[in-house]
Structure 1
Amino acid sequence: MAQAAAQTAQAAQATIGDSEFDRDTAVTLREGGVYDAELSAGWTILGAVNGGYLLAVLGRALGEALPHPDPFSVSAHYLTASAPGPAVIRTQVVRSGRTLSTGQASLFQFAQDGTEIERIRVIGTYGDLDTLSDEVRTSAKPPAIPPLERCLGPADGGPAPIPGGSAITERLDIKIDPATVGWAVGAPSGKGEMRGWFGLADGRDADPLSLLLAVDALPPTSFELGLKGWTPTIELTTHIRCRPAPGPLRVSITTRNLAGGFLEEDADVWDSADRLVAQSRQLARVPRA
């Protein structure tokens, strides 16, 4: 753990605000509560814009619309698949309190005939993570992931990018636990588990907004269940528990139940200080044969 953190600290780090993630999640105020965004093709997988990236875009818009800076709980319903290109985000402040504020946001894109199509609808509660108590009572433990140098990325014999179909992998620094990479060599474990180290390729350290991406950035657990193809998210709820320390994150995702053509994924995200910084649950559709 200490060695992995040291390696990251020695690497050239992108400053928050200067990285590709920040540029590609930027929103521009058009008028009260309405923001323009440009969904980047750099965050796609098999032609679909990644759900965690989309959540971060809407999360940024809500953070600008609400009086509190940090996402505490964000729930998104993915209504239709988003495409790279222009988008409009409409926000509404639902409640503004002393320590918490709640708002909702919807992202729209335009069909060829000019009609608006709602892609995602989000409701989020925001606060200030720096004001939270330091008290922690938990039975949760960091996942047993091998050190960073013993996990596998594309250059280490790990999962190779899908030719022409995984632009997002160029923007992420992900190393998968060898115990959950059997799918990449045609030998999935049959267990609904995926674990690995997560970072942004340009070295930008994690913050609450990028945690919304981290919970949905690893390969889906369906791969280790022996299934192939896109696993579209239906609903994703993320809880941000504290501001992450500098350094790489560890992400553990599990699926306990696949039924009726749907599965859930529960994700835990741990920082370099061994703190549980984010949790999420999503419902996803099983890849269609």
Structure 2
Amino acid sequence: MPLVALFTAAIMWILLLFLFNKETAHAPVAVDPAVAASIAKDYPTIGDQIYHQGNPATGAIACAGCHGANGEGGAGPKLAGNTKLTQDGGLYTHNIVLKGKGGMPAFEGKLDDTQLYAVANYVLHSWGNTIEEPLTPAKVAEGQTKVDPAVLKNRSRFVPEDLKLPEIWLTTFIIVLLTYGLIGLYSVWAEGQELHPGIHKVRSTPVATLGIVASAAMTVLFSVLFVRQMNVDYQGWAANEPVMPNVTGEGFYAAMIVLSLAATLALYKKFFMDGEALVEDATGEFPW
């Protein structure tokens, strides 16, 4: 039964990955000739207007409120002379304006294509920033596989912004089946399939001793790394230009602490702690 539970969880995991990948796959960029033709002449005026005034009718706030009237920065990062914005021809800038990042809201749906490209090009051609040619939909479509690694990481994130009911259902059952299966495997490994009355003496082996020492050392190591990562993230968050915390790193170290501690306790139960079974009663056993 534990293996059946784990096998079923694996199938559900594959289905879950399919759903998540479908959610996080970015739609192809539509190359509108009208937008492309107007970009070069419109961005100095429309881009300037959107940057400093926003679009109140759709709820698009002005960029200058966070990044400064001259891109000097403030609540948001400095834009003036920021080479990260121009190093890939402006693809990174377009994606941030479209999808948002950290405390910056997404402007997708709040600005039309003309306004999006206008404000992106305004930033890419102001305050010392420059690119060879204006950013166009054709360039964005061509460079979708060449964008900044941070953008690719955001696009391929495991958990989409909105969890839907099928995904929640699958995730819940995967957790239940994994828990059931792992507890079952551990029970068979630690105590066997049948419990016989009496005191069961156990004797540790050199390999078991090495294993418990190694797992305990890993618990300490990952605890130190977790605390260090939390400290780095806290300092980055409190900096003048806030840096988003590395939630993935924090979660990985926390998970490894739990797993290594569980391995330590399991080895202790199996090889270092005597067990006692008073009676052999099938009704008291787990259903595996």
TM range (shorter): under 0.3
**TM-score in terms of structure 1 length:** 0.24
Q: Which has the higher helix share?
A: 2
Q: Which has the higher strand share?
A: 1
**TM-score in terms of structure 2 length:** 0.24
Task: Work out which structure has the larger RCO, using CA pairs closer than 8 Å and 6 or more positions apart in sequence.
Answer: 2
